[in-house]
Structure 1
Amino acid sequence: MEMIELGQTGTHVSKLALGAMQMGGATGEPDAIRILDSFLDAGGTFLDTADCYEWWARRGSRGGESEELLGRYLKGRRDQVFLATKGSALPAYSDKLWNADGSTDWELARRTFAGAGGDTLRQALDGSLRRLGTDHVDLYYVHVDDLGTPLEETLEALDGLVRAGKIRYPGWSNVRTWRLEAIRQLCDRHGWAAPVAVQQQHSYLRPKVGNASASIVGAEQSEYLDQHRDLQLVAYSPILKGVYDDPAAQRTGAWALENYAGPDADARLAVLREVAGEVGSTPNRTVLAWLLHQTAPSVIPLIGPRTPGQLDDLLPALDIKLDAGQLARLDAAGA
């Protein structure tokens, strides 16, 4: 697996990142270990988790299952990986977070997220370090941008954690472009450690007109990140829950497509299928290959396979070479 510089830090990570969100929940420990072993054997180094993973999967959970599993796995091999985790997105505990049928009340969760206050982040990180069995993480994200806490408080706290050696680099996730610029200016003004990575939902399909999500990279944010190469784009949900390989889900309007569906998506899917046929691969793998070819801005796709078989199905994307003509057709496709 190729390595890529993370932003302009001088630190190199694998060009594909592995998300551990479901590990310890939907993915049991034996399968999680097989996935982790296969990823490291393929040359992967970049692992991603969060303190809240995966509280919603089990009534009464307070999250942390993923971090605990990684902590057990990484004993004796912590120095082999670049380890990222996140804080701020764990909601205040209430039994009402789970509906009577076991489903999640996401509206209540979003209203009660922990947020990015200084004390909140310091306590959350200490809990993460304890579960992960390490004295530091390489990258620590503000998981959900907190508009209710002064940015100065959050940034000063993150800077203190860098100075204390508990995190190497800060990052941000689910954030609008104007906030990234405000963060940059405050860090410059005060000499605080600035974020080096932004984790957003990003894929081959483009968000439809009128999309208001702060979590999805649009044209403006893509241009901003291309102009500010010190911020590395880490793309979560790069294959949109696998819908590229699922024509039935595309026809019936799978929820993963809600922010993308329309004539532009249909046109891009048609060209994607053509190119996938030309390279003898699946649309899912071809999307990953397209993302790995991107330079404006560069992209680190973050995959989250639930089973070892799903990882085995995606890893061949690393060997797909798209020629200039194919890249131009994929880029130009659209309504």
Structure 2
Amino acid sequence: MKIVELGRTGEQISQLALGCMIMGTVTPEDEAVAILDRYVEAGGNVLDTADCYAWWEERGSYGGHSEELIGRWLARTGRREEVFLTTKGSAVPRDLDAVWPGGRPDWEIAYRTFVGAGATTLREAIDGSLRRLGTDHVDLYYVHVDDRTTPLEETLEALAGIVQAGKARYIGWSNVRTWRMERIRQLCAQHGWPAPVALQQQHSYLRRRAGHRHVSIVDDEQLDYLRAHDDLTLVAYSPILKGIYDDPEKRRGHGAMEPYLGPDADARLAAIVEVAAEVGVTPNTLVLAWLMHQNSPAIVPLIGPRTLQQFEAALPALDVKLTDEQFTRLDTAGA
């Protein structure tokens, strides 16, 4: 497992991070524990969770399943000092009845009614997360969904207090526009508050289609911003887009493909399939390897396997070797 620096903090983290979103709900505890054990054995140390994971899998719940499971695993194994523990706040629904009008939650309502990143909300959220995780601090604390209704000064001052109190060592942001990130950084510099060291966004080999508006998917402007600010590490969630690279049938009509559909995606899919065959790995595996080969900006892919088998399928990406020609072919593919 390759080790990289988090921003310019000096912190050494594994380049492949483990997303724990569905642990304790979709992934039962015994299998989740097996994945956690195997990940650490393979040299990984970044565990990513959130206070809201996974409220949408259990009607009447506000989440916390993933944090509680990780807390039990940490207590049993004593591995707290071996992992770089990250969690998030701000994306818990205010009113569960409103977001569950039927058999499944209404995500449009949920996004409009998250608790947000007010000072009191964040202070209470971090305390709840620490209690569930069974630790006195996390290594990185994210604002999960950018909250434009709360003044940034209020959010940032609260986060500074959380860091000063020793409840989080660093802060990060997720699902945010580039202009907002620049404003956040300016305010941190102005007031002497700790600035974000990680930006967690959806990022993969495919590029979102022209004209598609999506706050959470990295675009060219955001990549350019990250190249110019290497103190901010890109943590790429959904790197293999629900596994669609391996299966043409799965891609047809899959929601993960919708933001990418078009000639550019067709050309890049053809390239990834071709090079994967040359290298002797699956397209999903090659996408992870391609992301880890990036250095401008450096990228930490965040995988979220549902099963131990899916986790094991990701590990060969750590050993993929690409020639300069193959790397160029992948980089330049597109319409």
SS in 1 for 2:259: coil
Q: CA RMSD in A?
A: 0.7
Residue in 2 aligned with 1:80? 82
Residue 283 of structure 2 corresponds to residue 286 of structure 1:
no
Residue in 1 aligned with 2:305? 305
Q: Distance in 2 between matches of 1:140 and 1:188?
A: 19
Residue in 2 aligned with 1:15? 15
For residue 95 of structure 2, the aligned residue among 93, 96, 101 is 93
TM-score, length of structure 2 as denominator length: 0.98
Deviations 1:14-66 (A, max 9, x none): 01000000001000000000000110010000000000000000110110000
Task: Give the letter aligned to residue 146 of structure 1.
Answer: D
Q: Distance in 1 between matches of 2:98 and 2:187?
A: 38
**CA drift at 1:211:** 1.4
Deviations 1:112-163 (A, max 9, x none): 1010001100000000000000000000000000000000000111111111
Residue in 2 aligned with 1:140? 141
Q: Distance in 2 between matches of 1:315 and 1:177?
A: 32
Q: Distance in 2 between matches of 1:157 and 1:61?
A: 26
**CA drift at 1:253:** 2.9
Q: Distance in 1 between matches of 2:21 and 2:233?
A: 21
Q: Distance in 2 between matches of 1:298 and 1:323?
A: 19
Residue in 1 aligned with 2:169? 168
Q: Distance in 2 between matches of 1:107 and 1:274?
A: 38
Superposed structure 1 runs of 4+ greater than 6 Å apart: none
Taking the TM superposition and a 5 Å limit, the aligned residue runs for 1:114-129 are: 114-129=115-130
**CA drift at 1:103:** 1.1
**CA drift at 1:180:** 0.6
Q: Distance in 1 between matches of 2:71 and 2:177?
A: 32
Which stretch of structure 1 is more off in the superposition, 241-250 or 16-25? 241-250
Residue 74 of structure 2 corresponds to residue 49 of structure 1:
no
Contact 1:138 1:169 in 2 (8 A): yes
Q: Distance in 2 between matches of 1:59 and 1:160?
A: 34
SS in 2 for 1:259: helix
Identity percentage of aligned residues:
65
**CA drift at 1:99:** 3.4
SS in 2 for 1:226: helix
Task: Give the letter aligned to residue 204 of structure 2.
Answer: S
Q: Which runs of 5+ in 2 are unaligned?
A: none
Residue 244 of structure 2 corresponds to residue 272 of structure 1:
no
SS in 1 for 2:215: coil
Residue in 1 aligned with 2:112? 111
Q: Distance in 2 between matches of 1:18 and 1:79?
A: 16
Q: Distance in 1 between matches of 2:285 and 2:276?
A: 8
TM-score, length of structure 1 as denominator length: 0.98
Residue in 1 aligned with 2:131? 130
The count of corresponding residues between Structure 1 and Structure 2 is: 333
**CA drift at 1:181:** 0.5
Q: Distance in 2 between matches of 1:17 and 1:94?
A: 30
Q: Which runs of 5+ in 1 are unaligned?
A: none
Deviations 1:62-83 (A, max 9, x none): 1000000000001111001000
Task: Give the letter aligned to residue 173 of structure 1.
Answer: S
**CA drift at 1:269:** 0.4
